[in-house]
Amino acid sequence: MLITENTRDFICDNIDRLEDGELTFRGQRLTSLAKKYGTPLYLYDEEKIREKCRAYLGAVKAGFGSRAKVLYASKAASFKRLYEIMREEGMGIDVVSRGEIYTAHRAGFDLQNAYFHSNNKTDEDIEYAIDKGVGYFVADNAEELYAIERIAGAKDKACRVLLRITPGIDPHTYAAVATGKVDSKFGSAIETGQAMEITKVALSLPHVTLRGFHCHVGSQIFDAEIYLMTSRVMLDFVKDVYESLGYLADELDLGGGLGVRYIESQPTLDIASVILSVSDALKAHADELGITLPVICFEPGRSIVADAGLTLYTVGTVKDIPGYKTYVSVDGGMTDNPRYALYGSPYTILPVIASESEDREVSVVGRCCESGDILQEGVMLPSDTKRGDLLACLTTGAYHYSMASNYNRIPRPPVVILTKDSDYLAVRRESVEDVASLDL
C-alpha cells in the first residue's frame, strides 16, 4: 500500500497517516496504543463525541427553540463514561433496559431526562424505572400502559408517557433495522386505527400522563426526505387526535437514524442542514393544520458515536487458497463486531502500517469457530500482510461494544478513550475469570 495523497483522504476526519506510514487516530499513533493496551481494542475519540452532541444541540435549538430536546440513543454504545459525557454536554438519553438505566444512574445522570423505550417492558423493568426516577416511558402497546397504570397506582405516582406510533414509512434501508413500517414489531400503526385506540387508552388512565407521541422509522437513513415525510405524517396524526379526542400533544419525538459513513461511497450528512430542513417543513405544516407545534425531540445514537470509534486488531494467520481467496484472520471477530454477520454491514479496514507491496483482495475474518465469523469481504490489503501486523477497522463506535458477546467464551475488549493530549481506560479488558464469574 503506497502512501499517496489519496490514501490520506480518509472517510473520517479524525484519522490520518503520518509520513512514516503509520495510521493515527485523534492524532495518536495506533502502534503505541496497541502496545499499551493490547488488541483487540476499542478506541473512542472523546472530542468527536462532544462535537456531534454540540452539532445536534445547536441545530435543534436553532430550528425548534429552547424547549426542543436531543436524547442520546444509548443502545448504540452504553458504558459509564459515555453517560458522564452526555451529562456534561447537556444531552438527554433514551434507555431500553434496566442495565442501561443502572449504568446511567451510576454515572450520575439525572434520570428525569431519560426516556425508557422497549417493546416488552416487564413489571420488574417498570417498577425499577419508577423507583429510579426515570422521567418518561415510551409505551409500545396497551398491555404496557395497563402495567404502568397498575404499578404506578400502587406507588401513588403518575408516569409521563409518550406513545410509540408507527407512521407507515419504509426507509428502504436494511430490513432488520427498518422500524417504521405498518407491520413493524414496534409501536401502534396509524393506518390500522390502533394508534388512535391506544391514545384513547392512555387518556383514560389516572396514573398515566400522556405527553405526546414517538416514532422511529429506521437506521442508516441518508435521505432527508424520509424525515420530512415522517414528520408530516406524525403531525397529521397529532391534528387528528386533537380533533377526535380533544388532546393536543405537548411533545413529538421523531427518533433518530441518520446515516454515517462506513465506506467511501457513502455520503457525509450535514446534521444542521437535515435538522433545519425538518424544522422549516414542520413549522409550515403546523401553520397549515392550524395547531401549535409540539416540543420536538430527536434521538440520535449511531450518528453521535459511530465515527468516534475505531477497533484495532492483530493479524494471526494469512491463509491462501490458490484460485479462490485469501483469508486474513485477526484476534477479534464477531464477538466484538457481529454487524457483518447480522446485516452484511460494510466497513473500511486499513493496515496500520503502510507497505510498499501491491494490494490484494482478502477476506478479513475472526477467530471464532464459526464460518460466519467475518468482519469484511473484499478488503484490499498489502500482499505482504503477515502475522503480528495491526489492522484498523473504522467507524466502530456504534453497536460494537454494546453488541459484543462472549461467544466461544472469548473475553470482550477494553474501551479506551482518546482526547487531544491523552488516553484513558473507560472499560477494562475482560479476563477469562470474568467470563466464568457467574458459573456456580
Phi and psi, residue 3, nearest 5°: -85, 115
Does the active-site annotation cover 369? yes
Give the β-pairing of 349-351 and 325-330: unpaired
From the list 59, 50, 58, the residue with the least C-alpha distance to 85 is 50
**Residue that has been written with the C-alpha cell 484495532 in this structure:** 312
**Residue that has been written with the C-alpha cell 466461544 in this structure:** 408
**Residue that has been written with the C-alpha cell 424544522 in this structure:** 279
Q: Round to whole Å and give the CA distance between 326 and 408.
A: 24
Cis peptide leading into residue 351 (ω within 30°): no
- Catalytic, out of 53, 159, 369, 393: 369
Buried b (16+ CB within 10 A) or exposed e, 288-309: ebebebbbbbbbbbbbbbbbbb
Question: CB neighbours of 366 closer than 8 A, spacing ≥ 6?
Answer: 329, 330, 332, 333, 334, 335, 373, 374, 375
SS3 category, 181: coil
**Residue that has been written with the C-alpha cell 460466519 in this structure:** 372
Q: Is 425 left (phi over 0), alpha (psi -120 to 50) or beta?
A: beta
- Which amino acids are annotated catalytic? 369
